[in-house]
Amino acid sequence: MAGAAAEAEKSPFEKELLAGKVALITGGGSGICFEVARQFGLHGASVVLMGRRPDVLQTAAESLRKESIRVEHVEGDVRSADDATRAVEFVIESFGKIDILVNGAAGNFLSPAEGLSSNAFKTVIEIDTIGTFNMCKAAFPGLRRGGKGRDGADGEGGVIINISATLHYGATWYQSHASAAKAAVDSLTRSLSLEWGPDYGIRTAGIAPGPIANTVGMQKLGVLVSEEDGLKNIPLRRMGKTWDIAMAALFLASRAGSWISGETLVVDGGHWLSKPQAFPRDAVTQASRRVEKISREVGASDKGGNP
* pLDDT of res. 237: 82
In angstroms, rounded to a whole number, what is the distance separating the alpha carbons of residues 103 and 218? 19
Side-chain-side CA neighbours of residue 303 (13 Å): 6
Closest by CA to 135, choosing from 209, 202, 41, 60, is 202
* pLDDT of res. 5: 43
Report the SS3 class of residue 46: strand
For residues 222 and 256, the answer to whether their CB atoms sit within 8 Å is no
Please report how the helices 176-200 and 131-143 are oriented relative to each other, as an axis angle in degrees rounded to 10. 10
* pLDDT of res. 222: 58
Q: Domain limits of the chain?
A: 2-274, 277-307
What tens digit of pLDDT does each residue of 144-181 get?
987 766 444 445 799 999 999 999 999 999 999 999 99
In angstroms, rounded to a whole number, what is the distance separating the alpha carbons of residues 100 and 121? 29
Q: Characterise 201 by phi-psi region: left (phi > 0), alpha (psi -120 to 50), beta (else).
A: left
Architecture of domain 2-274: 3-Layer(aba) Sandwich (3.40)
* List of the chain residues with pLDDT < 70: 1-8, 148-155, 217-229, 277-279, 284, 287, 297-307
Cβ neighbours of 135 (radius 10 Å)? 28
